[in-house]
């Protein structure tokens, strides 16, 4: 039995990074989901930053999602990174860019009013437009799925819900970007990274925000399915 224990939260996109690597490489593990609004004492003792994911293994604790993902990749056969050192470094740079993009998504759904929302949307749109020319298709670097694809799959997942709330014009209208989003979204490891019930949980999370997007989400959910 594997000693790998991943401590997670149902909505955390950073947890999904580790889960995608675990899935892609068929790594046995066990997983525990916690409520970050009521962190158990044992978790506070384990996590130096009080965040998920946390990985227990070999009697030690690893924290920070990309550190965990890299450890899982390095300690198992094969690699989800390119073999060439320069290309591998380039992928890691765009992974970090993905982390900054997730931070912008947080600003978008927390924006208190329409003006702040529009500013966050512009920033997010700019980030997506910046990475678009780097995409080879169908995946980030061509035919092979890499760790960078998994990271961006966790980003694209948000847009499935955003698109159901309103047409915000966030995604660049380029064929490679659309194909990349479709390819990573169809990847089984990406599809299965969040736990069952994730879409409804995300909608409920957004509806509960006292933010501009929260208000839009509440109105979208309250609209009749077939208005007369």
- Please give the structure tokens belonging to residue 193: 């990274």
3-class secondary-structure state, position 114: helix
For residue 35, CA distances in Å to 7, 12, 51, 60, 216 come to: 11, 11, 11, 22, 26
Active-site residue among 6, 7, 12, 95?
12
The secondary structure of residue 184, as a DSSP letter, is: H
Closest CA to 35 of 62, 16, 7: 7
For residue 12, indicate whether it is catalytic: yes
Tokens, residue 204: 């409920």
Pairwise CA distance, residues 8 & 131, whole Å: 28
Q: Confirm if 90 and 135 have CB atoms less than 8 A apart.
A: no
The per-residue DSSP string of 81-104 comes to S-SSHHHHHHHHHHHHHHHHHHHH
**CA-to-CA distance for 139 and 224, rounded, in angstroms?**
38
Active-site residue list: 12
């Amino acid at each position: 039995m594997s000693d790998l224990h991943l401590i997670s939260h149902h909505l955390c996109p950073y947890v999904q990074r580790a889960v995608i690597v675990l899935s892609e490489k068929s790594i046995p593990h066990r997983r525990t989901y916690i409520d970050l609004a009521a962190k158990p004492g044992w978790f506070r003792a384990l996590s130096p930053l009080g965040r998920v994911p946390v990985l227990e293994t070999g009697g030690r604790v690893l924290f920070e999602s990309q550190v965990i993902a890299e450890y899982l990749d390095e300690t198992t056969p094969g690699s989800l990174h390119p073999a060439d050192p320069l290309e591998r470094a380039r992928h890691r740079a765009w992974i970090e860019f993905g982390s900054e993009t997730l931070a912008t998504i947080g600003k978008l759904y927390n924006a208190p009013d329409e003006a702040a929302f529009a500013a966050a949307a512009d920033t997010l749109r700019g980030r997506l437009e910046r990475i678009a020319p780097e995409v080879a298709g169908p995946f980030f670097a061509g035919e092979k799925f890499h760790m960078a694809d998994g990271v961006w799959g966790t980003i694209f997942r948000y847009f499935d819900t955003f698109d159901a709330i309103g047409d915000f014009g966030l995604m660049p209208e380029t064929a490679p970007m659309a194909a990349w989003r479709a390819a990573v979204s169809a990847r089984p490891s990406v599809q299965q990274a969040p736990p069952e019930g994730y879409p409804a949980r995300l909608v409920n999370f957004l509806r509960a925000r006292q933010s501009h997007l929260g208000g839009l989400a509440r109105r979208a959910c309250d609209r009749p399915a077939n208005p007369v």
